[in-house]
Chains A and B, each alone.
Chain A
C-alpha cells in the first residue's frame, strides 16, 4: 500500500537554487497539503489544495509555489531557496474536509546552505 509518497527524501541546495518537491497519493483523495516542520514549531501549513486545478495559501506561503495539475499529485516549488527554508517538509492528503483524517508522507529533509 503506497499511500502518500514524497520525493526526494533528502536534498541539499545552495542559496538561490530552485527545486520541486513531489507528492503523490494513490487514495483518490481530494484534499492535499504541504507542511513544514521546524524544531519547536510543530507543523505549519504552507499551501493546500481542495481539488485538481485549485491551490490556496496556508499559514506560511512566502517563498513557495504549488501546483495540482493532476488529482494524485501536489508539487511544491522553491524558486530561489533561502537558508530559512531549511526544514523537513511533509505532504498530507485527506478524502475531504469532513473526513479530517490526514495521511502523511515520510517527509523530505531539505538543507539550504
Chain B
C-alpha cells in the first residue's frame, strides 16, 4: 500500500542554518504530495504541495520538489528562524481511493536555537 517515510528527529539547528528534512514515498500512480507543519499546541496546517512530477512547492521560504525518479519530496529552507520550530509532516494523498484522506509520515520535530 501507499506509505511515507520521513527522517526521524528531533533536528536541532542554529538560526540561519540550512534545513533539509528527507521524505520518500511508496505509491501506485502519481499522488499529490504535501508538507504540513504543526506549531506547538496547534493543529496541522498546509505548508506546501506539489501535484505532479518535477513540480516545486514553495511557501515561507520552504521548498520541496516532487522527484518521481527517486520517489522523494525533501523539504528545504536556506536559512531557518526560531519561529520555524515545529513538527513537520510529509504526506501523500490516498491516490485512487475514495476517501480523499492523506497518508502521513511520522513527523520530524525541528528546534531552532537563537
Which size bracket describes the interface of A in this complex?
20 to 34
Contact flags B78-114 to A (C-beta < 8 A → 1, else 0): 0000000000010001000111111011110000000
Instruction: Report the separation of the CA atoms of residues A73 and B93 in the bound assembly, to the nearest whole angstrom.
Output: 23
Cβ A31 vs Cβ B100 within 8 A: yes
Which residues of A approach B to under 8 Å, CB–CB? 4, 31, 33, 40-45, 48, 50, 56, 58, 90, 92, 94, 96-102, 104-107
B58 within 8 A of A: no
A40 to chain B: which residues have CB within 8 Å?
A: 106
Cβ B99 vs Cβ A102 within 8 A: no
Contact of B101 (CB < 8 Å), options: A33, A41, A99, A104? A33
Instruction: Report the separation of the CA atoms of residues A92 and B43 in the bound assembly, to the nearest whole angstrom.
Output: 9
Distance of A4 from chain B, by nearest CB (Å) = 7
Distance of A57 from chain B, by nearest CB (Å) = 10
A94 to chain B: which residues have CB within 8 Å?
A: 100
Cβ B43 vs Cβ A105 within 8 A: yes
Summed over the interface, the residue pairs from A and B with CB atoms below 8 Å come to a total of 61
Cβ B89 vs Cβ A43 within 8 A: yes
Which residues of B approach A to under 8 Å, CB–CB? 32, 34, 36, 41-46, 49, 89, 93, 97-102, 104-107
Cβ A50 vs Cβ B44 within 8 A: no
Cβ B43 vs Cβ A41 within 8 A: no
B100 to chain A: which residues have CB within 8 Å?
A: 31, 48, 50, 94, 96-100
Known contacts A100-B32, A101-B46, A104-B43; decide if A42 and B98 are in contact (CB<8 Å): no
Further pairs besides A44-B104, A92-B44: 4, Cβ < 8 Å? A33-B101, A41-B106, A97-B93, A104-B45
A104 to chain B: which residues have CB within 8 Å?
A: 36, 43-45
Distance of A92 from chain B, by nearest CB (Å) = 8
B44 to chain A: which residues have CB within 8 Å?
A: 43, 90, 92, 102, 104
Distance of B46 from chain A, by nearest CB (Å) = 6
Instruction: Report the separation of the CA atoms of residues A89 and B112 in the bound assembly, to the nearest whole angstrom.
Output: 27
Instruction: Report the separation of the CA atoms of residues A42 and B103 in the bound assembly, to the nearest whole angstrom.
Output: 9
Cβ A100 vs Cβ B102 within 8 A: yes
Known contacts A58-B99, A100-B100; decide if A106 and B106 are in contact (CB<8 Å): no
